[in-house]
Amino acid sequence: MVKLIAKSPCAGLLPKTIGTVTLTEIDAGRMTLVAPFAGQKKSVSDALKSSIGVGFPAPNRTSGTTPRAVWCGRGQALIIGADCPDLEGAACVDHSDAWAIVQIDGADATALLARLTPIDLRASTFKRGHTARTLIGHMTGGITRLGVQSFEVMVMRSMAATLMHDLTQAAQNIAARADVGD
Amino acid sequence: MRLPCPLCGDRDRREFYYQGHAVMLERPLRDAGANAWDDYLHNRDNPAGETRDLWHHEAGCGAWIVVTRNTVTHEVLGAILAENAKKTGAQA
């Protein structure tokens, strides 16, 4: 059988270091969107916990590390890094390869995202394990804090190049201002 | 303007799509008659003061919310999920 060569969403675009900021692609592996039916959130969360050890996350939160669950909208979460178990009380859709996911690290990571998104990213309000569905430039996407100077940004795969353009442009502008001593 | 999404918290106005007055949630019965349906589809008050509007958090969590705000002072008084407003008849 012919074995096709998988191409990641940001292939040829990343990794990149601009100024103090490093952009790296995250290969999330298996991803499944889980949307519990009305009144089924608790039982779905219990089922997830017993099979993969990660419960259904609260709004704007993630749970677990590997595998992990990332809230991604009203009544929806992405299960990342594990095969999704059979869930009777939820609609489950395979999202593997559907998302372009970029990790942003560095001293100016917050400043970079502040140029692209309207949400409050200060460490006092947007902590590790917090996630948000919001605007990134003109796109809708998700932002998750991974650490003090580390974020994960995800948009649909078809917008990978646009995301790269926006992130690169913002990082270059910050680096340019640093060069002239701002 | 910032709107208090019940799921996401205070968010920028540009994340939201404006639909119109929350009277859209009070759909008349199928046999309510032409006047009730005409009213429901076409007639809206234009209040100077408090109003309840439907907004869609389209660039966020995707929820429909009912926002109570004041058109005179621009004060935003609160918001609830449309599903709850419909279920309980609660006011934001």
Distance CA A50, CA A60 (A): 22
At residue A90, the pLDDT reads 95
Which of A7, A138, A164, A44 lies closest to A55 in space, CA to CA? A44
Q: Looking at the structure, do residues A41 and A122 belong to the same domain, yes or no? A: no
- Which tokens in the block code for residue A12? 């040829």
Nearest-by-CA chain B residue for A72:
B61
Q: Looking at the structure, do residues A87 and A122 belong to the same domain, yes or no? A: no
Q: Looking at the structure, do residues A165 and A106 belong to the same domain, yes or no? A: yes
Percentage of chain A lying above the pLDDT 90 cut: 88
Span A7-27, mean pLDDT?
Answer: 94
pLDDT digits (tens, 9 = 90+) for A111-160: 999 999 999 999 999 999 999 999 999 999 999 999 999 999 999 999 99
Percentage of chain A lying above the pLDDT 70 cut: 99
pLDDT at B91 > cutoff 60: no
Span A168-178, mean pLDDT?
Answer: 94
pLDDT at B92 > cutoff 70: no
Per CB-CB distance under 8 Å, the chain A contacts of B7 are 59-60, 74
Q: Looking at the structure, do residues A63 and A122 belong to the same domain, yes or no? A: no
Phi, psi of A133, deg, nearest 5: -90, 125
pLDDT at A37 > cutoff 80: yes
Q: Looking at the structure, do residues A40 and A75 belong to the same domain, yes or no? A: yes
Q: Which CATH number fits domain B2-88: 3.40.50.880, 3.30.70.580, 3.30.565.10, 3.30.2270.10?
A: 3.30.2270.10
- Chain A: give the shortest CA distance to residue B35, in Å: 35
Distances (CA, A) of A17 to A101, A109, A146, A163: 16, 12, 18, 15
pLDDT at A69 > cutoff 90: yes
Q: Looking at the structure, do residues A107 and A65 belong to the same domain, yes or no? A: no
A9 is a domain residue: no
pLDDT digits (tens, 9 = 90+) for B29-53: 999 999 999 999 999 999 999 999 9
- Chain A: give the shortest CA distance to residue B54, in Å: 16
Q: CB–CB of A133 and B63 under 8 A?
A: no
If one counts the domains in chain A, the total is: 2
Asked if A9 and A153 count as a contact pair (C-beta separation under 8 A), the reply is no
- Mean pLDDT of the residues in chain B: 91
At residue A157, the pLDDT reads 95
Q: Looking at the structure, do residues A107 and A172 belong to the same domain, yes or no? A: yes
pLDDT tier at B88, thresholds 50, 70, 90? low
Q: What is the DSSP letter of A98?
A: -
Close Cβ partners of A41 (under 8 Å, ≥ 6 residues apart): A56, A75
Per CB-CB distance under 8 Å, the chain A contacts of B12 are 118-119, 135
Q: Which of A94, A117, A135 is the last residue of a domain?
A: A94
User: What H or E segment, with its residue span, contains residue A153?
Assistant: strand A150-156
At residue A17, the pLDDT reads 96
Phi, psi of A168, deg, nearest 5: -65, -45
At residue B71, the pLDDT reads 94
- Mean pLDDT of the residues in chain A: 94
Distance CA A32, CA A52 (A): 13
At residue A4, the pLDDT reads 87
Residue A122 burial (CB count, 10 A): 10
At residue A181, the pLDDT reads 74
- Chain B: give the shortest CA distance to residue A159, in Å: 15
Number of A/B CB contacts below 8 angstroms equals 38
pLDDT at B85 > cutoff 90: no
Residue A59 burial (CB count, 10 A): 20
- Which tokens in the block code for residue A124? 């006092």
A10 is a domain residue: no
Nearest-by-CA chain A residue for B12:
A118
- Is A134 an 8 Å CB contact of chain B? yes
A 56-85 → B contacts, CB under 8 A: 59-60, 73-74, 76
pLDDT at A76 > cutoff 70: yes
Q: Which domain holds residue A159?
A: 16-27+97-179
Q: CB–CB of A134 and B60 under 8 A?
A: yes
